[in-house]
Structure formats: C-alpha cells, structure tokens
Amino acid sequence: MKSVLRTRRSLIDLDDIAEDELHEVFARATAFDRSRPEKRLSGVACVNLFFEPSTRTFTSFNLAEIRLGAELVNLTPKDLSYINKGETIEDTVVTLAAMGVSVLVIRHPEEGFPRSVAAHFDGHVVNAGDGTNAHPTQALLDLYTMLREFETLQGRTVAIVGDVLHSRVAHSLIAGLQRLSAGTVLVGPPAFVPEEYATEGVRVSRDLDAVLPSVDVVVLLRIQRERFAAMPLADEEYVARYRLNAERLALLPSQAVVMHPGPYNRGVELDESVLRFAGWRYAQQVVYGVSVRMAVLDFLVNGT
Ligand code: NCD
C-alpha cells in the first residue's frame, strides 16, 4: 500500500493513508513539536466547515492552519446558503474551489458526507468526524501519543472501553491499531461492544477488571447519548462495571497510560482519581493533536 494519501488527496478515513505515509506524518509532527515550522501553508486557503459542535477538534484545526500560515475561513451551517437557499452542497464546494479554496475540513452528523464532498471538490478534504463513522485525525493523534510513549505498538495491548458502537473515534482507532500491529481489546456491555467487532488482532471483553492487568493503554470513551434513544442498561450498572476509578487504576501495570479523546464525563466513564493519575495523557493528546493536524495538512498540500 503505497502513497494512498498522495493519490486520493483527501483524508476521510484510515484507509486513505498507507503505513509508510502514517510514519511520514508522525515524523513531521515530531519536527513540528520540536520547533515552530516555517509557514508551509502560506497562501493556501482553508475552509473549516463544522456542522456539529466541536471544541477540541475545531480549535486544533484552526491553530494548525494558523501556525502553518494558511488563509483561513470558518463556516457554520447558518452561513451556508446551500442549506436555506436551495443550493446543493456540490455547487457550494465548486464555488469555494473557484475562489481558490484548496483545503476543506469537514465535520458532519451524516456518515459519508465528507467522502461525497471530496468527490466534487478539486482540492483536499479532511474528515473532522462524520456521524458514527470515522474521525481519522483523532485516531492519528491517539496513535502518535501512544508511539511517543512506547516507540512501537507491536506487542502492546490497547483497551478501548465504553460506547464503541457509536464512536467514530473508536472506529478509526481500531483500524489504526490493526495497521500498527497492536493488540486491541474492546471492553463494554453487548449493546456498546457487539461481539461482531472481534476480528484479527481485536478481541471483545465484558470484564474490565480482568483486562486491566495486561494492558499498556486504556482509551476511555464517552457514552454518545445523542446517538441513541434510550440507555441500553442502567447508568448505575454501567458505572459499577466500567467506570475507571482508583481501585481499577491500581490493577494496571506500572507503565500503563490512560487516554480519552474528550469531552470526558466525570462520574460516568472516569472519576477524579483518573484526572490525577500519573499516567493520564489527555492533555498530551490535545497538545499532539495540533502538531499531527499540521503534519496531515502539510503532507496533503505539499507532499513529501
Ligand atoms: C469526539 C467526537 O466528536 O467524535 N471528540 C473529539 O473529536 N475529540 C468524541 C465524543 O464526542 O465523545
């Protein structure tokens, strides 16, 4: 699998990036972490199109674009005439391309929306999250955070805990972990972690306490309540079985780290002891998020 990202010119999911490109992006992120880059997107017009609320991802893309010197426009649904004046999204993106926009960063509640936009846009599309489908830059920053911790993920085990079914973060991360030959264990009740997720390198467990002693990384997920009608089990039962707390942290091996894509819900998937845990890497993920997004944008626009 060679140069997929360069050929497709867009990052919609992890399939759009070959393993060598993944490492190229990570190397570039490391360089950006070490020193402020030259303005490698100088004169490049980027539009961020966010159809869903976002704090981290939106700010992170904005900072990445600003730090690379891009020309930057942020559009929200209320600014888009295609929504209330009968234009199609296809015509909107053709208009943006005619104005010289070369990068579109899109978050949308509908699965597949960024991919369909990419088919009509003569430029680069970066998926910032589409429904429950994919969130590739979050997966890349999560993998990068793990690699900064462990150098290689071969022989390492990553537990992803919680609402995997509705999590685009988890879907992209599972694909990335497979690509880097990490062992993955998905932990949660059947309604959030269906048995069908088990596949090559990926197993399913219902028992967090049994899993913790042999993992290197725990990725906690928020219950995505906005994506389903009724909680499939009692909140108390979920908390009793799956909330990470001081007793459960004590089961982890000493080098293990805990991550979360944010936003995290105190008292649900974690309690305050996790926020004070020496291996809590949430802030580090946010820091690396900016440099990884800079690296993705630079790679898409400027190549190798
Ligand atoms: C998530 C998202 O929006 O997909 N957050 C993020 O982008 N860092 C996860 C969530 O909403 O729980």
pLDDT along the chain (304 residues), means of 10: 76 94 96 91 97 95 98 89 81 93 97 95 96 98 98 97 98 97 98 97 98 98 93 93 98 98 96 98 98 97 88
Q: Which two tokens stand for residue 204?
A: 């399913």
Q: Are residues 164 and 250 in the same domain?
A: yes
Q: Which two tokens stand for residue 255?
A: 């080098």
Q: Which two tokens stand for residue 282?
A: 């949430």
Residues of the domain holding 191: 136-286
Q: Are residues 110 and 206 in the same domain?
A: no
Residue with tokens 């730090």: 67
pTM, two decimals, is 0.96
Q: State how many domains the chain has.
A: 2
Tell me which H or E stretch contains 141.
Answer: helix 136-150
Residue of 169, 171, 268, 287 best suited for mutating to test ligand 1, as the one with most atoms within 8 Å of CB: 169
The angle at the Cα of 288, spanning 287 to 292, to the nearest 5 degrees, equals: 135
Residue of 48, 127, 135, 225 best suited for mutating to test ligand 1, as the one with most atoms within 8 Å of CB: 135
Spatial CA neighbour of 15 closest among 175, 162, 144, 124: 175
Judge whether 9 lies within some domain: no
Q: Are residues 39 and 124 in the same domain?
A: yes
Judge whether 269 lies within some domain: yes
Q: Are residues 213 and 266 in the same domain?
A: yes
The domain that holds 34 is classified in CATH as 3.40.50.1370
Q: Are residues 121 and 142 in the same domain?
A: no
Judge whether 2 lies within some domain: no
Spatial CA neighbour of 41 closest among 3, 13, 68, 77: 68
Asked if 117 and 80 count as a contact pair (C-beta separation under 8 A), the reply is no
Q: Are residues 158 and 51 in the same domain?
A: no
Q: Are residues 196 and 120 in the same domain?
A: no
Q: Return the amino acid letter for 248.
A: R
Provide the 3-class DSSP secondary structure of residue 60.
helix
Spatial CA neighbour of 36 closest among 56, 70, 64, 61: 64
CA–centroid distance, residue 98 to ligand 1 (Å): 32
Asked if 116 and 92 count as a contact pair (C-beta separation under 8 A), the reply is no
Asked if 72 and 62 count as a contact pair (C-beta separation under 8 A), the reply is yes
The whole-number pLDDT of residue 4 equals 78
Q: Are residues 142 and 282 in the same domain?
A: yes
Distance CA 252, CA 70 (A): 43
Judge whether 8 lies within some domain: no
* Cα dihedral 98, 100, 102, 105 sign: negative
Q: Are residues 113 and 226 in the same domain?
A: no
Report the interhelical angle of 56-67 vs 136-150 (nearest 10°). 80
Query: Would residue 254 be called left, alpha or beta, if left means φ above 0 and alpha means ψ between -120 and 50 degrees?
Result: alpha
Judge whether 7 lies within some domain: no
Q: Are residues 142 and 241 in the same domain?
A: yes
Q: Are residues 222 and 155 in the same domain?
A: yes
Judge whether 6 lies within some domain: no
| Beta pairing, strands 45-50 & 71-75 | parallel
The ligand 1 site (C-beta within 6 Å) comprises: 56-57, 129, 135, 138, 168-169, 222, 224, 261-262
Other beta carbons less than 10 A from residue 297's beta carbon: 26
Q: Are residues 67 and 121 in the same domain?
A: yes
- Asked whether the bond before 253 is cis by omega within 30 degrees of 0, the reply is no
